[in-house]
Amino acid sequence: MLPVKRSASQGEVVLSGCSIKKNCVAGLLASPSDTSDKPGSGGGSSTGNTNDFTIGNISTTRAQVPIAMSTGDGNPSDIDEDLHSRQLAVYGRDTMRRLFASNVLISGIQGLGVEIAKNLILAGVKSVTLHDEGVVELWDLSSNFALTEGDIGKNRALACVGKMQELNNAVLVSALTTKLTKDQLSDFQAVVFTDISLAQAIEFDDYCYTHQPPIAFIKAEVRGLFGSIFCDFGPEFKVLDVDGEEPRTGIIASISNGNPAMVSCVDDERLEFQDGDLVVFSEVQGLTELNDGKPRKITIARPYSFDLEEDTTNCAPYQRGGIVTQVKKPKVLNFKPLREALADPGDFLLSDFSKFDRPPLLHLAFQALDKFVCDMGRYPVAGSEEDAQKLISIAGEMNDGQGDGRLENINPKLLRYFAFGAKAVLNPMAAMFGGIVGQEVVKACSGKFHPLFQFFYFDSVESLPTAQLDSNEFAPANSRYDAQISVFGSKLQKKLEDANLFVVGSGALGCEFLKNLALMGVSCGSQGRLTVTDDDVIEKSNLSRQFLFRDWNIGQAKSTVAAAAAALINPQFTVEALQNRVGPETENVFHDTFWENLTAVVNALDNVNARLYVDGRCLYFQKPLLESGTLGAKSNTQMVIPHLTENYGASRDPPEKQAPMCTVHSFPHNIDHCLTWARSEFEGLLEKVPTEANAYLSNPGEYASSMRNAGDAQARDTLERVLDCLDRERCDTYQDCITWARLKFEDYFANRVKQLTYTFPEDAATSTGAPFWSAPKRFPRPLQFSTSDPSHLHYLLAASILRAETFGIPVPDWVKNSQKLAEAVDKVIVPEFQPKQGVKIVTDEKATSLSSSSVDDASVINDLITRLEQCHVTLVQNFMMKPIQFEKDDDTNYHMDLIAALANMRARNYSIPEVDKLKAKFIAGRIIPAIATTTAMATGLVCLELYKVLDGGHKVEDYRNTFANLALPLFSIAEPVPPKVFKHRDMSWTVWDRWVMNGNPTLRELLQWLKDKGLNAYSISCGSSLLFNIMFPRHKERMDKKVVDLAREVAKVEIPSYRRHVDVVVACEDEDDNDVDIPPLSVYFR
C-alpha cells in the first residue's frame, strides 16, 4: 500500500481557498469519481489548521503548516513494491525508508524548481513544500510544465501545488507564499534554493550548517544556457554507499602461505577489486583463520588474483573453497559553508574536458551576475550590449580583486552570451539540472551515493545558432516562448515550431521528451507535427517515473495518454499518437514518405534491437537521430547526425555473458544461476508444456505428424512432458495439485541432488586427477521436506495454486490456512528414491542441450504418440489447459512467489545465500533499474542538442555525447566520433551515403554504370537472394532484364505501391582486384 499522509505541526503554509481542477482530453485523463478511500488521498488525520481543496475529483485535506522534521530513520509505512520496484532496484529498502521520512523545501518555483519537485515527489519523500513569493508570468510557461495561461497572475507555488500533488498522493505537497525565515528551515532535512541572492544564500546556509543536526543546503540556478549548483551537507556528512554498486565478489581457487598472501580466484570472471579495497573471507577450508569476518586489505589487485596484507606463512595450508567479498565502508565528507567556499571553492566537478578552464570563469560570472542584480534591481536585458558590458566590467573588477586567484582571461564573448540569457530559464537546462539537483537531495536525505562536492558549473553555448543575430531578434513577442527567444532569437523559434519530429517510445524517456518538446514549442507551429508511437500499455510500476501517467490511466495506451497530457501542457502542441511497434512489419505505417518528411527522430526506447532498426532507418533516409538511455543512476546520450557523426550501430557493447547450461542445471554457484533455473522451470511447467498440450488437443493428427517429421531428441522430450502433464501428472482436484507440488519438491530438491552426488561423490576426481568438486562447483545436499518450515509451505502454496490455474481447478479458501495445507500435504505418499547407475549428467560447459539423441528416437516417438492418443480419450470433452505467462509486476498472482521459492530451495541445496522476493524479482524479472532523476537529466541534455539539430548549421565539434553517473557523480561529455571515410579514385563516402541510379536500368546497364566508376561488380544481392554472381554462368542470361524485375522474380520482393525504388547490395573490386565497400545502391524504376 502507499504510505499514508503524515501529521503536520504549526507553521505558515497558505493554501486558503485554492481549488485546482484537473483538465480532461477525450476522457483519457479522467479520474474515477471517488478515490477518497485510497491511502494518501486525504483520509489520514492532520494536526493544526487545515484547508480543504480539490485536486481533480480527489477531496484532499492539506496542512497549512510546514511538516515537523523527522529524524530520517523513523517508522514509515510499508513500501509499495509494485509502484517503486524499478526505484527499489536502484536504492534498496533502507534508502527508500529514509526518503519516506524526509521533508524537503524548494524555494523558487520557476522551471528549475518545479523539475526538482517533480523528481522528488516521484521518488516518494515524505513531504515537499513549494515556496515562492512571485506570481506567474507568461514568461514562465516556456519552462514550467505545471502552469497554464490561466495561472498568470497567481502565486507560482499555489498554481503548481495541485498538479504536483497528482504525481504521488503518498507525498504531502504544500505551498508557502510568505517571506521565508531562517527558523522555518529547521522543519526540513534538505532545502533547495533556485532563485536567491548570494547574501541571503550565505545567511540561510550559515544557519543550516550550524543547525543540529545540519540541514542539507543546495543552491542551484539556470541562467539561459548556463547553470550552477552548490551543495553543503554539513561539517561531517556520512556517505553510507559511495557508488550504489553491489559489493564485488570472487570464488577462491588458491591461497598461498606467505607474506603477503596471494589469493587466486577462478577465471570465470575478472575481479573488480582495486588496490586498497577491504575484503572478507568465508567458506575457506584449510586456511580457516581467514573466516573470522575481519576485513583485510588488498595491497596489489590483478585481473584474477590479488595480494593480501596478511602473513599466512604459519597458517594451515589452503585446501579448497572460499568466497571473497568486498567490504564497503562509509565515507565522511567535510563540507565548507558557502561563505568560505566562494573564496576557496576547491576542485570543481568537471563535465566537459574541452572546457577544463570554464568552471573558474563561471564561478566568477555567477557572482558578477548577483552583483549586477543587486545593483540594478533586474537581470540584464537580452540583446542589450550596454547591460552585457556592465556585467563584463563587474566581472573584471571582481577578478582583479582576487589576488593570486585572478584569471588571466575572463572571456568577454562568453560573458556576453551569459548576460543576454541571464533572465531566461530554459526547459532543457531546467530538466537537466532538475535531475541532478533532485539526486543530490536524495543523497542528502539518505546517505546513498556520493554527493556533489561542492560546486558544479555547466554551459551549452554550442547550442546557440551559428549565424550572428541582430539585437531585435531577442525582442519579446508576447508569447509563451519569450524566454527561449531571448536566448536563441525568433528565427530558431520558428524552426522549432515547424519541425516534424518522430518520438519512438513514450515510457519514462518518452514522457520527459514530450513535456520538454511541448514547453520548447517544438511542432507547435502551423507546419509542425510530432508523431509518437508506443505499443505498450500503462502499468502501476510506470507511475514512479513516467510522470504523465496517473493511476486511473493503468491499462490505457501509453502513447495516447502521454500525447494528451503533453497537449495540456501546451495547447498548441500538434501531436499524433500511434500504438505501432517500429520495425520491418510496420513499414506500411512508417513508410518512405513518412521518413522522408521528418526533420529529426528522438529515440526513447528500452532495447537494443529496436534502437538498431531506427538507426538503420535514419541512416537510410539521412535523418538526425537523438539517442539516449538510462540504467539506474547512469545515463548516456548519443547524437547521430547525417554525414557528421558515426551511427548508433557503428559500435556495440559486448554481449552479456551467459552462464553455461550445465552450470545452471547442475552446478550453480550463485543466486543468479538459481533464479535463471527457477524461471526456466516456471515457464516450462506452467507455460510451454500446457501450450504444447493445447497444440496437441487442438489438432492431434497434425501435431503427431509434426513430431514424427522432427524425429529428434527434442521432439521426444516434448512428447514425454506433454504425456506426463495429461496423464501421469494430470490434476483433477486441488488435492492432486498439492500432490504434484509435493512430488516436484522431492524431485527437484532431494532426488536430483541424491542422483548427482551418487554419480559424482564428494571425493570424485576428474580425468586429470583434480577434485571434481573444486571451485566454482559447490557440493550440494538434499533437502528434507518439513511442514514446520514456512518456506516449504509457501513453495507448496504457490506451486499448487498455479498448477490448479493451468487445469482450471478452483482454489479452495482453506489452502491459505497453513495448518490445513500441512494436513493436506501429509496425505501425500512420497516414493522412496534409489539412485541409478549410468545416469549421464552433462558437465560440458559448451553443451547447448541437456537432451541426448538416440538411435531409436523415432520408435520412442511413435510409442509416445500412441500413449498420448490413449490418454486423450480419457480427458473431458473439449478439455484445454490454461497456460500461464510470467508476469513479474503483479504481486497477487503467485508467479514471483513460486520463482523465489524454487530459487531459494535450490540455493539451500548448494549453500548459496538466499534472497527475498523483491531481489528475486529484480533478477528473474530482468528488471532494468530506473529513477526519474536520471531520465530527466538525460532528456535535458538531448534537448540541448536538438537546438543544434534544428538550427542546422553546426559542425561535429559543436555536438556533444554524454555519459553520466549521478551516483558518483561523474559527467563525461565529448564530441561525437566522425564516420569512417571510404575512398576510391576521386570519390569518397561514409556510411551515410547511398548511391542512386535512375532510369529503371537493366542488370547490364547497372554493371556498366559501376564499371564507369572503376568498379567491377562480382555479386549483386537483394534481401537474402543473389540477383547476379559472376561465378554462375546462368546468371548471364539475366543481363538484359530490369533490376526491379529480377528483384520481384528472384528475390520475391513485394514492392509497395508507394515505393519507387529497390535496394541492392553490390560486392565490388577495383582494377587491382581489391575489395571496395561501396554504399548501398538504390535503383529507381518509376
Which residues are tagged catalytic?
A: 662
Q: Which residue is listed with cell 559447490?
A: 778
Indicate left, alpha or beta for 377 from its phi (over 0: left) and psi (-120 to 50: alpha). Answer: left
Query: 3-state DSSP call for residue 1073?
Result: coil
DSSP H or E segment with residue 414: helix 412-420
* Cα 157 to Cα 171: distance, rounded to the nearest angstrom: 16
* Cα 555 to Cα 551: distance, rounded to the nearest angstrom: 9
* Cα 825 to Cα 820: distance, rounded to the nearest angstrom: 9
> What DSSP character marks residue 828?
P
Q: Which residue is listed with cell 538526425?
A: 624
DSSP H or E segment with residue 672: helix 671-683
* Cα 633 to Cα 640: distance, rounded to the nearest angstrom: 23
Q: Which residue is listed with cell 553490390?
A: 1066
CB-based contact 358:324 (threshold 8 Å): no
* Cα 641 to Cα 975: distance, rounded to the nearest angstrom: 12
Phi and psi at residue 941, in whole multiples of 5°? -60, -40
- Cell readout for 549 is 501517467
Q: How far is CA 4 from CA 1, 55, 550, 769, 932, in A?
A: 9, 17, 18, 64, 22
Residue 105: closest CA among 543, 445, 545, 515: 445
- Give the CA angle between residues 596, 600, 606 to the nearest 5°: 110
End-to-end Cα spacing for the chain: 62
Burial of residue 1018 (CB within 10 Å: 0-12, 13-18, 19+) is middle
Residue 410: closest CA among 344, 369, 358: 358
Q: How far is CA 876 from CA 496, 557, 866, 884, in A?
A: 65, 39, 19, 21
Q: How far is CA 114 from CA 65, 130, 154, 379, in A?
A: 20, 9, 16, 21
Q: How far is CA 526 from CA 24, 437, 475, 641, 943, in A?
A: 24, 36, 22, 26, 21
Q: How many CB atoms lie within 10 A of CB 993?
A: 18
- Cell readout for 291 is 573466516
Strands 190-193 and 172-176: unpaired
DSSP code string of 308-324: ES---TTSPPP-B--EE
- Cell readout for 1045 is 524485375
Q: How many CB atoms lie within 10 A of CB 652?
A: 9
Q: How far is CA 612 from CA 149, 432, 513, 833, in A?
A: 41, 26, 20, 52
DSSP code string of 23-38: --STTTTPPPS--TTS
* Cα 1072 to Cα 890: distance, rounded to the nearest angstrom: 65
Residue 1001: closest CA among 974, 1051, 960, 1039: 1039
* Cα 395 to Cα 163: distance, rounded to the nearest angstrom: 40
> What DSSP character marks residue 615?
H
